């Protein structure tokens, strides 16, 4: 065995931390030219200094960080089962939650999600197959709505379970008792403060969007009878609108528009990315051009129009507007069901760009009226497209995450990795069945294959400690200097912690953390190929320490990248960290030698990632074996 044969050579250890730099300096002076040694010593000392400075910075920031907080998804409208867009919003939120909860050790943080189940659109969908719809009583309507909402909400819960979404709160607006109570309290408080009044509302109402709009256009269409018809559409969504006049309760939105604008101007990093912030500021300026009366928000619907919803307190003739109901779910999670002093205000609220107006104007206005603190960050992502067209149930181009998994056979974590690596928050992303396997297989090569190449029995026969000695690789025939590559790798590892922190806290764009990790993994693969351990092992005794040095650098790379990628690939990275006998992944442990100058590594790892084509081939071969067994059984 390689390690057993060379145990005497591997028994030496580094000097203590305080004398390590001088030790390396003197050792190199004895073994190489003076100039070369000084350069190498200075570079290594710089790395140690960077590591120590980073460690002090991390400890200082960790001491100031609270342990609580709140991450939210929008609650999903139950007009159909989840598609790839819903999944993306959910895994983006989950990865940000895992970063704060696990890597930043904010152990009291909560993560809330759920389903939005009230409104006329849900009601119409739930009863569309019932006979005599014009004469249905409230009991029949409610029974149909309850059954429909339970069925659709369950599909979202199943998706979250299958993709290991680690939410702490799952709210259903029609079924969570605490939510209904919170909505009623919010209404009464707004009314008490004079921000709700009964008025007449006239305007273009889009039933599909559950909203009034002033941004309309009239177009000619050919109806089902083959006749031309002039219809009014919302420019924003393209859905039909109708002009309505009715008595509604209204919220004094006009009272808060200046304060919202001032809040955003004073906190320009609240809405991310910058493109969505600019869009919101332009929208606010445009809205403020309207008269106060037309700007005030209708927050109820007459009961004869919408039965399926929470009744207005003390007025059973009206139903609370679905968006006031839905937005209040965040208060239900962060205040009613949690410790408000720990979990409010929201740390990051993740939404799609189509609901920016509701979260960037209505939501802060409600909070200001209630005297509540405003969100720290509203993170707005763009759409996932299919052939450059937004996914839509009506267009029939919805991509189901389950269809993708069935077609490719990959594990759930890898679909998470693809979506979070490819998505650019400021621009729409187009799902590609060409890019998907390419991205997955790249990770299998640079991470999974590196793990199995380095720690098979040829180079690492059994579990044991691997020491770092800061040796020079002696590879005279190498096309590139592996020592330079090793130094570049160490510098990248020392920069990784800040790269990850910046990706999750400043940019809130996960792909940058993934990019930093993949860059390091590629550099480590380059080093492995330059050192060529399969040649060194031919003279195992003579080259023992060089091989050990390489194994440490590989192990340290994989340990660091496992922490960096943990929020995206929690299941797989737990497996990887376990192989290196690491337990809790923490941001402060990212950096070269942050966990010491030795690492205990197991041997002969299992395949961590299977390539997509390999999964397909194994699936076909297993089916073949199954058929052969059936034939043999028939013969018997």
Question: What pLDDT sits at residue 67?
Answer: 83
Question: What pLDDT sits at residue 66?
Answer: 63
Contact present, 231 and 274 (Cβ < 8 Å): no
Question: What pLDDT sits at residue 216?
Answer: 81
DSSP 32: S
pLDDT value at 248 more than 60: yes
Token pair, residue 457, equals 């029995």
- Bridge partner list, 352: 381
pLDDT value at 15 more than 80: no
**Diameter over CA atoms, the chain:** 97
Residues with Cβ within 8 Å of 363's Cβ and at least 6 positions away in sequence, in order, are 327, 330, 375
d(CA 295, CA 306): 23
d(CA 483, CA 490): 11
Token pair, residue 257, equals 């528009």
The mean pLDDT of 418-438, rounded to a whole number, is 90
pLDDT digits (tens, 9 = 90+) for 313-331: 999 999 999 999 999 999 9
pTM: 0.82
- Bridge partner list, 170: 113
- Confidence bin at 160 (pLDDT 50/70/90): very high
| Between residues 562 and 624, the one the model is more confident about | 562
pLDDT value at 381 more than 80: yes
Pure H helices in 362-506: 363-370, 401-408, 412-422, 435-443, 450-454, 482-501
Question: What pLDDT sits at residue 623?
Answer: 41
Question: What pLDDT sits at residue 205?
Answer: 80
The mean pLDDT of 435-460, rounded to a whole number, is 92
pLDDT digits (tens, 9 = 90+) for 508-561: 999 999 999 999 999 999 999 999 999 999 998 999 999 999 999 999 999 999
pLDDT digits (tens, 9 = 90+) for 290-306: 999 889 999 999 988 88
pLDDT digits (tens, 9 = 90+) for 143-155: 999 999 999 999 9
Question: What pLDDT sits at residue 235?
Answer: 81
| Between residues 29 and 65, the one the model is more confident about | 65
- Cα distances (angstroms) measured from residue 17 to each of 20, 71, 469: 5, 40, 12
Question: What pLDDT sits at residue 622?
Answer: 42
Question: What pLDDT sits at residue 31?
Answer: 40
**Proportion of the chain above pLDDT 90, given as a percent:** 61
Contact present, 14 and 467 (Cβ < 8 Å): yes
- Confidence bin at 107 (pLDDT 50/70/90): very high
d(CA 298, CA 199): 9
Contact present, 347 and 504 (Cβ < 8 Å): no
pLDDT value at 45 more than 50: no
DSSP 104: S
pLDDT value at 635 more than 70: no
Question: What pLDDT sits at residue 632?
Answer: 45
The mean pLDDT of 491-520, rounded to a whole number, is 97
- Strand 70-72, strand 211-213: pairing: unpaired
d(CA 381, CA 89): 8
pLDDT value at 39 more than 90: no
Question: What pLDDT sits at residue 308?
Answer: 93
Residues with Cβ within 8 Å of 576's Cβ and at least 6 positions away in sequence, in order, are 447, 451, 558, 562, 608
Question: What pLDDT sits at residue 5?
Answer: 42
Contact present, 364 and 349 (Cβ < 8 Å): no
pLDDT value at 56 more than 70: no
Question: What pLDDT sits at residue 162?
Answer: 92
pLDDT value at 42 more than 80: no
Closest CA to 469 of 381, 589, 597: 597
Question: What pLDDT sits at residue 149?
Answer: 96
Question: What pLDDT sits at residue 616?
Answer: 53
Q: Quick one: how far is CA 554 from the chain centroid?
A: 27
- Strand 378-381, strand 348-352: pairing: parallel
User: CB-hemisphere CA count at 13 Å for 290?
Assistant: 17
pLDDT digits (tens, 9 = 90+) for 164-185: 999 999 999 999 999 999 999 9
pLDDT value at 9 more than 50: no
Question: What pLDDT sits at residue 210?
Answer: 67
Residues with Cβ within 8 Å of 93's Cβ and at least 6 positions away in sequence, in order, are 71, 72, 73, 111, 113, 348, 350
pLDDT value at 606 more than 70: yes
Question: What pLDDT sits at residue 4?
Answer: 43
- Confidence bin at 397 (pLDDT 50/70/90): confident
Domains and CATH numbers, the chain: 2-60+434-605 (1.10.730.10), 70-419 (3.40.50.620)
Per residue, what are the HEC states of 225-245? Answer: CCCEEEEEEECCCCCECEEEE
Instruction: Report the interhelical angle of 138-162 vs 84-98 (nearest 10°).
Output: 60
Residues with Cβ within 8 Å of 102's Cβ and at least 6 positions away in sequence, in order, are 566, 567, 584, 585, 586
- Cα distances (angstroms) measured from residue 604 to each of 187, 456, 464: 62, 4, 12
- Confidence bin at 112 (pLDDT 50/70/90): very high
- Strand 429-430, strand 384-386: pairing: parallel
Question: What pLDDT sits at residue 480?
Answer: 81
Residue 46: CB atoms within 10 A of its CB come to 14
- Confidence bin at 391 (pLDDT 50/70/90): confident
Question: Where are the extended beta strands (E) located within 100-188?
Answer: 110-116, 169-172
Residues with Cβ within 8 Å of 296's Cβ and at least 6 positions away in sequence, in order, are 199, 250, 251, 252, 253, 254
Question: What pLDDT sits at residue 435?
Answer: 85
Average pLDDT, the chain: 85
pLDDT value at 268 more than 50: yes
The mean pLDDT of 266-271, rounded to a whole number, is 97
Pure H helices in 267-337: 274-287, 292-295, 322-327, 329-331
d(CA 449, CA 98): 26
**Proportion of the chain above pLDDT 70, given as a percent:** 85
């Amino acid at each position: 065995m390689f390690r057993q044969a060379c145990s005497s050579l591997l028994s030496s250890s580094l000097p203590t931390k305080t004398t390590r730099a001088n030790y390396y300096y003197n050792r190199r002076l004895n073994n190489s030219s003076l100039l070369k040694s000084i350069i190498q010593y200075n570079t290594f000392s710089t790395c140690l200094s960077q590591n120590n400075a980073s460690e002090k910075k991390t400890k200082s920031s960790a001491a100031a960080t609270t342990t609580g907080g709140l991450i939210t998804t929008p609650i999903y409208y139950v007009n159909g089962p989840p598609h790839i867009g819903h999944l993306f919003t959910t895994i983006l939120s989950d990865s940000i939650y895992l970063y704060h909860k696990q890597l930043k050790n904010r152990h009291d943080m909560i993560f809330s999600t759920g389903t939005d189940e009230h409104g006329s659109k849900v009601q119409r969908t739930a009863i569309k197959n019932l006979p005599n719809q014009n004469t249905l009583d409230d009991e029949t309507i409610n029974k149909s709505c309850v059954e429909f909402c339970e069925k659709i909400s369950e599909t979202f819960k199943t998706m979250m379970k299958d993709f290991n979404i680690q939410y702490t709160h799952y709210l259903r607006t029609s079924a969570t008792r605490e939510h209904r109570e919170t909505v009623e309290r919010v209404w009464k408080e707004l009314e008490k403060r004079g921000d709700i009044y009964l008025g007449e509302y006239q305007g273009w109402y889009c039933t599909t969007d559950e909203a009034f709009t002033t941004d309309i256009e009239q177009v000619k269409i050919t109806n089902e009878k083959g006749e031309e018809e002039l219809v009014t559409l919302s420019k924003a969504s393209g859905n039909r609108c109708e002009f309505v006049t009715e008595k509604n309760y209204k919220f004094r939105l006009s009272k808060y528009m200046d304060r919202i604008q001032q809040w955003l101007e004073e906190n320009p990093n609240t809405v991310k990315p910058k493109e969505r912030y600019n869009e919101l500021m332009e929208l606010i300026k445009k809205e403020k051009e309207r008269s106060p009366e037309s700007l005030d928000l209708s927050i109820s619907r007459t009961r004869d129009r919408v039965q399926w919803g929470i009744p207005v307190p003390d007025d059973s003739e009206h139903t609370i507007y679905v968006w006031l109901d839905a937005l209040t779910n965040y208060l239900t999670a962060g205040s009613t069901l949690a410790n408000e002093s720990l979990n409010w205000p929201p740390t990051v609220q993740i939404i799609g760009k189509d609901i920016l107006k509701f979260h960037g104007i209505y939501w802060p206005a409600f909070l200001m009226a209630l005297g509540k603190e405003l969100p720290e960050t509203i993170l707005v992502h763009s759409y996932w497209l299919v052939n450059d067209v937004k996914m839509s149930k009506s267009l029939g181009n919805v991509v189901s995450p389950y269809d993708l998994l069935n077609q490719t056979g990959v594990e759930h974590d890898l679909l998470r990795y693809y979506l979070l690596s490819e998505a650019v928050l400021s621009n729409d992303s187009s799902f590609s069945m060409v890019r998907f396997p390419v991205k997955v297989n790249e990770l299998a090569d640079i991470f999974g294959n590196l793990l199995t190449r380095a720690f098979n029995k040829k180079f690492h026969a059994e579990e044991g400690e691997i020491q770092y000695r800061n040796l020079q690789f002696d590879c005279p025939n190498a096309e590139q200097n592996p020592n330079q590559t090793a130094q570049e790798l160490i510098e990248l590892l020392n920069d990784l912690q800040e790269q990850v922190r910046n990706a999750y806290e400043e940019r809130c764009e996960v792909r940058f953390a993934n990019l930093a990790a993949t860059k390091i993994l590629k550099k480590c693969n380059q080093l492995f190929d330059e050192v060529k351990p399969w040649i060194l092992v031919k003279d195992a005794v003579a080259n023992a320490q060089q091989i050990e040095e390489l194994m440490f650098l590989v192990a340290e790379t994989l340990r660091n990248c496992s922490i960096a990628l943990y929020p995206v690939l929690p299941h797989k990275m737990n497996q990887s960290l376990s192989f290196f006998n690491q337990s809790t992944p923490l941001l402060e442990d990212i950096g070269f030698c942050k966990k010491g100058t030795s690492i205990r590594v197991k041997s002969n790892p299992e395949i961590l990632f299977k390539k997509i084509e390999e999964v397909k081939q194994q699936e076909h071969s297993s089916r073949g074996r199954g058929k052969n067994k059936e034939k043999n059984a028939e013969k018997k």
